[in-house]
Amino acid sequence: MEVRRASITAVGHYVPEKILTNADLEKMVDTNDEWIRTRTGIRERHILKKGATSDLAVKAVQQVLTNRGITAEEIELIIVATITPDMMLPATACVVQEKIGASKAWGFDLNAACSGFLYAVSVGARFIETGVHSKVIVIGADKMSSITDYTDRNTCVLFGDAAGVVLLEPTDEKDYGIIDQCMYSDGAGGAFLNIKGGGSLNPPTHETIDKKLHYVFQDGKSVFKSAVVCMADVSEEIMKRNHLKGRDIAWLVPHQANLRIIEATAQRMGIDSSKVMINIDRYGNTTAATIPLCLSEWWQAGKLKRGQNIVLAAFGAGYTWGSMLLKWSLVNPEKP
Ligand code: UT7
């Protein structure tokens, strides 16, 4: 039986205007531009001053609808990967649905932190492959500034706000679209990267606020060690499984948490750095948004070609991690 594959048929992204530079952070905590650049690769990040994650998402979805030339009523399913929902309830997917007027869609949120976009594409693709839906919107969006402690130099230099979106549709083209995936999680990693307050374990109280339990906590060194191994392992695994060598891959699209993790992954895959999408210098770690933000920027810049093999790879809280192999089918925008 022929497999009905899911393919990315439109991309879009949004970053808020306000920029927080390393120089700005030097005035807020005991840090410096040199440390941040050499340890992480980050120069600046964008911050949403007013509004919520859904506002970032809506702007990115609107770009996707324009790029594909469809209306919001044609969307059948909305999946929002986020760890910064507008509210605990309702799901941000429902907020987005209402704001864009996707009256025929249903939707839900998915929490897999920095791997959230990969997990969400995986779920969305199954709805396409099984014939249940033909237009699925997958959103990776996070307002990380809402859960960042700007007095903690260990974390506040790392994160930024953004949204990236893809539209998934079925493709008739043989061997195009989403080809394969390797997905993992390991709950033992929860101790090293978490937000302890606000859930059923530690509902909000004066004490949870005083203890700063509503902010991201990260044991950076422990997370780094696991991220470096897992991202490289899972990227190598998907290449081996599909009999691909470094030269067969046109682009590696890694989660943007740390330039050193990205470089280690590319090295293990035998991929030249010119074939790695990197924008961490301008946006920092935008959690679920990093991968679609890269795809959208590179597509807009005309750098993606039909038929290219593209590997997506991510690692994040949970721990969660994974890789995905795509054969790119979307043509670039026409240049004026
Ligand atoms: O996206 C989800 C997954 N997350 C990741 O993949 C992130 C993984 N971790 C990392 O990227 C890195 O561990 C960090 C960038 C977070 C930290 O880099 P590091 O090289 O692991 O530094 P460290 O945490 O071991 O800290 C080294 C030193 C410490 O000082 P001492 O104890 O050696 O005196 C820190 O206090 O650097 C100090 N430090 C800073 N100094 C200046 C920590 N943060 C800062 C800072 N500015 N912002």
Structure tokens at 81: 């990967």
Residues of the chain within CATH 3.40.47.10 domain(s) are 5-171, 177-327
The rounded mean pLDDT for the chain is 96
Q: Say yes or no: CB of residue 316 within 6 Å of ligand 1.
A: yes
CB 303 within 8 A of CB 176: no
**Can you identify the CATH homologous superfamily of domain 5-171?**
Thiolase/Chalcone synthase (3.40.47.10)
pLDDT of residue 332: 72
Summarize pLDDT for 90-109 with one digit per residue, the tens. 999 999 999 999 999 999 99
Ligand 1 atom having least distance to the Cα of 220 = 13
Residues marked as catalytic: 114, 255, 285
Strand, helix or coil for residue 311: strand
Of all protein residues, the one whose alpha carbon is nearest to atom 23 of ligand 1 is 221
In Å, how far from its chain's centre is CA 308? 20
In the predicted structure, residue 201 carries a pLDDT above the cut 60:
yes
Confidence of residue 172 (pLDDT cuts 50, 70, 90): confident
Q: Is the CA virtual torsion 104, 109, 110, 115 positive or negative? A: positive
Residue 48 to residues 10, 52, 61, Cα–Cα distance (Å) = 24, 8, 17
CB contact set of 325 (below 8 Å; sequence gap of 6+) = 178, 179, 180, 181, 238, 242, 244, 309, 310, 311
Confidence of residue 48 (pLDDT cuts 50, 70, 90): very high
Q: How far does the chain reach from its first CA to its final CA, in angstroms?
A: 43
Summarize pLDDT for 11-20 with one digit per residue, the tens. 999 999 999 9
Q: Which of 150, 159, 221 to mutate to test the pocket of ligand 1 (most atoms within 8 A of CB)?
A: 221
* C-beta neighbour count of 112 within 10 angstroms: 27
Summarize pLDDT for 56-94 with one digit per residue, the tens. 999 999 999 999 999 999 999 999 999 999 999 999 999
Task: Tell me the whole-structure pTM to 2 decimals.
Answer: 0.97
Of all protein residues, the one whose alpha carbon is nearest to atom 25 of ligand 1 is 221
Summarize pLDDT for 257-272 with one digit per residue, the tens. 999 999 999 998 899 9
Of all protein residues, the one whose alpha carbon is nearest to atom 13 of ligand 1 is 220
CATH architecture classification, 177-327: 3-Layer(aba) Sandwich (3.40)
Residue 21 to residues 37, 167, 260, 286, Cα–Cα distance (Å) = 11, 32, 20, 15
In the predicted structure, residue 1 carries a pLDDT above the cut 70:
no
